[in-house]
Chains A and B, each alone.
Chain A
Amino acid sequence: MARYLARRLVQAALILVGVTIITFLLTHLVPADPARMVAGRNASLDTVESIRHQLGLDRPLVEQYLRYMGGLLQGDLGRSYIQRIDVAELIAARLPATLALLAGAILCELLIGIPAGLFAATQRGRFADRAIMVAAFSGVSAPQFVVGLLLLYVFAFGLGWFPTRGFNGVDSLVLPAMTLGILGGGWYARMMRSTMVDVLRQDYIRTAWAKGAGGTRVVLVHGLRNGILPIVAMIGLDIGIFMNGVVVVETVFGWPGIGQLAWQAIQRLDVPIIMGVTMVAAVGVVLGNLVADLIAPFVDPRIKLR
């Protein structure tokens, strides 16, 4: 276990270094000049040069990268070109909102996906099963900005049940978490259904039925225990899947998280913020995958970590 963990941590570190190289190259090879953007249109060429020097952009790319990594190891993510605030502070201010959104979204998708998948499996081939699967498919395919705007329009503006924007307690979390959760819920419903359909055909389930156990007990106690394994393994991976949706959902709902920060930074070519958010997101995804792998043996003793 300890050796496995050590190996995985080394792998994770290598992946993160790879991410920094790729992001750094992508943001620095864009044919745009941040020094010129900082300097404004009235600046003389000397001023632009002076600013380029102060930002360190006149140094060789390799040196710029090593300097960035040097700062990164000390927790220094650099300073925003446009907002002129430390990137670490900008991200720290916004991270709680994104974490709350992710937690809410995971809760939503499980609350939607697991019961729907279970019920569909028990109703296999019947109308309820088909209806749930069509709904799940729609949830998976619907563009999130459409779902988000629709929920916002109906439940916030139309019915007035929820606030129209912002990050203020559970009320404000419901709609954005639902928007993300509908996507994940669709996936979980389909996966839950297919694994449960398999599980319910197993011999031990037949034995349980034969011994006279009640339907609910068989499905929930005997079946769910095994059927839920792939789901647990998936939760860690959700972080990566959700990072895409977070940008869209945070923009629609005015949610002050890091996805919104990244979107604004991309539009303004604020390279230090783009780099910083990418790093934080990459760490989140790598950790999510690691945790998913580590808890798998506890849920299913057949899995051994080597």
Chain B
Amino acid sequence: MKRILLTSVSALAFAMAAPAWADDAVPMGGEMVVTYNDDVSTLDPAIGYDWQNWSMIKSLFDGLMDYAPGTTDLVPDLAESYDVSEDGLTYTFHLRDGVVFHNGRALTAADIKYSIERAVDPETQSPGQGFFGMIDGFDAMAAGEADALSGIAAPDDRTVVFTLSRPDATFLHVLALNFASAVPQEAVEEFGPEFGRHPVGTGAFSLEEWSLGQRVVFARNPDYYREGIPRLDRIVFEVGQDPTVALLRLENGEVDILGDGIPPARFVDVTQNPPEGTRVIEGGQLHTGYVTMNVNIAPFDNVLVRRAVNMAINKDRIVRIINGRAVPANQPLPPAMPGYAEDYDGYAYDPEGAQVLLAEAGFPDGFTTELYSMNTDPNPRIAQAIQQDLAAVGITVELQTLAQSTVIAAGGEPDQAPMIWSGGMAWIADFPDPSNFYGPILGCGGAVPGGWNWAWYCNEELDARAAAADAMIAADQQDARLAEWRDIYLAIMDDAPWAPIFNEQRFTMLRDRLGGPDAIFVDPVHIPVHYDTVYIQDAN
């Protein structure tokens, strides 16, 4: 899905120490070329919400919090430090000195307040508005009844104080989202709706050139507050580039990174024998592909039937169908997500066992149902594989292969789609926290018309446990919080509203001349690469 934010994490990143921000031995300078098929849509941090502009915006702007390169570890960014009150309702941030916007003006606490209020203001139409719901005064401002958030104060130039309406363990992650980036009010007002094409931030790069439909060029910000960052002088994003042609140009040495990844037709070929001068780096993603079963539509109102479906699907075969670009899944959370249950076995592939369960549920001869799927490759092929697997246990599945928007609309209707294969529309986490896989897709709040909880699964008890887990904000509670989230997802698997199928892997293809630890090329947040820390090996 184009507008789904893609964040991902390298399994490798957990194994190795966080790469340092700057390293004196690294060569500085040079220019990198990245290709994309689609135009860059906008570089306004309050608006941009697709996987292509997400990391570009990260290099132009900064927020109070960020992640260490190549990891999911939260670190202060524009904040030098922060304090949290005992009750978890007050966060006080102390701003770093010497941060200036690209227009030369120094950053102040008032800018932080203005920027977050701008994202919440309904006039802005920000897709990130809903993330800030825990800040005091959110409801009034989101409804257009207030001009400011009562929960943000700037008592002096260097201090920002947030007051929350409820303790929320995800608040620091929310401040690391692009939607919370600092923007200068005078530039927003000067450019009005065109701010997305004239971005002014505090980031490591500034916008040098934007030729519509041709290229976007970033240049080093000489005043960036981190010494030795960025390493590159310039990044050239060439847009309107067909992925197949982009790969030929990469082999030819004209391109450094394929922004859109490896075209499927050449995937096996280039991953097995990378062309001379190139390499491919593999990492995990915070993604799960799953089949939803609408718990309100018979016979999926019977938990035995839902478990039988889980046992009937051969996930290994589906992973082979997509050339091994994924790993089989057995629970909602992907392996790279904190809270993933390593020791959980899930429902093993067992067609005979599935038939026994179906007989027990009162369907010894199976039944007939429908599976909705998006119509772009490889999703129809995956849906057909599921159809064959279910036929083997007596369930006759009629496929509804439709356009993405039609499938999403069907999922949001209470009684329309018995089963949906989520491919092409699946949930990809906005930030690396287990709560991010619950609310809209498995909680009661998402089981509403037009919502994303396509299984219409609503378990009040789990909702209460989820809310309690997110209220655990003290540092010494974090292990207990992850353990609770792990148990919540295992309880969901017991009810089996989903059949998890696989977790997609990420493959970044690049020229050998690019340097940096592997983790920054499959960075959890910066896609396809952590632009601020990548360097060119022979640059000097």
Contact residues of A with B, CB < 8 Å? 30-33, 36-48, 50-51, 54, 79, 82-85, 89-90, 93-94, 97, 149, 152-153, 157, 164-167, 250-257, 260-261, 264, 267-269
Residues of B within 8 A of A152 (CB): 245, 248
- Those 4 A-B pairs whose CB atoms lie nearest each other, nearest first: A40-B127, A32-B405, A256-B213, A42-B130
Chain B interface residue count, Cβ-Cβ cutoff 8 angstroms: 51
Minimum distance in angstroms from A57 CB to a CB of chain B:
12
Contact at A269–B212, with CB atoms within 8 Å?
A: no
Contact at A31–B409, with CB atoms within 8 Å?
A: yes
Contact at A43–B245, with CB atoms within 8 Å?
A: no
Contact of A43 among B127, B193, B249 (CB under 8 A): B127
State which residues 232-265 of B face A: CB under 8 Å.
Answer: 238, 240-242, 244-245, 248-249, 252, 254
State which residues 188-207 of B face A: CB under 8 Å.
Answer: 193-194, 196-197
Contact at B41–A83, with CB atoms within 8 Å?
A: yes
Contact at A94–B213, with CB atoms within 8 Å?
A: yes
Contact at A254–B196, with CB atoms within 8 Å?
A: no
Minimum distance in angstroms from A206 CB to a CB of chain B:
53
Whether A47 touches B130, Cβ cut-off 8 Å, given contacts A32-B405, A36-B450, A82-B41, is yes
Contact at A47–B129, with CB atoms within 8 Å?
A: yes
Minimum distance in angstroms from A163 CB to a CB of chain B:
9
Contact at A254–B450, with CB atoms within 8 Å?
A: no
Minimum distance in angstroms from A62 CB to a CB of chain B:
23
Whether A153 touches B122, Cβ cut-off 8 Å, given contacts A45-B448, A84-B42, A254-B238, is no
Given contacts A33-B409, A45-B448, A83-B41, 7 further A-B contacts (CB under 8 A): A33-B405, A40-B127, A41-B4, A42-B127, A42-B440, A264-B37, A268-B38
Q: Within the assembled complex, what's the spacing in Å between the Cα atoms of A157 and B450?
A: 48
State which residues 421-469 of B face A: CB under 8 Å.
Answer: 430, 440, 448, 450, 452
Residues of B within 8 A of A41 (CB): 4, 127, 440, 452
Contact at A165–B238, with CB atoms within 8 Å?
A: yes
Contact at A269–B440, with CB atoms within 8 Å?
A: no
Q: Within the assembled complex, what's the spacing in Å between the Cα atoms of A247 and B432?
A: 39
Contact at B194–A46, with CB atoms within 8 Å?
A: no
Contact at B125–A51, with CB atoms within 8 Å?
A: yes
B226 at the interface (CB under 8 A from A): no
Residues of A within 8 A of B142 (CB): 44, 46-47
Q: Within the assembled complex, what's the spacing in Å between the Cα atoms of A47 and B70?
A: 34
Whether A157 touches B212, Cβ cut-off 8 Å, given contacts A42-B130, A47-B129, is no
Contact at B3–A260, with CB atoms within 8 Å?
A: no
Residues of A within 8 A of B39 (CB): 83, 261, 264
Whether A267 touches B2, Cβ cut-off 8 Å, given contacts A43-B127, A84-B47, A85-B194, is yes
Residue of B with least CB distance to A53? B122
B19 at the interface (CB under 8 A from A): no
State which residues 1-43 of B face A: CB under 8 Å.
Answer: 2-4, 37-39, 41-42
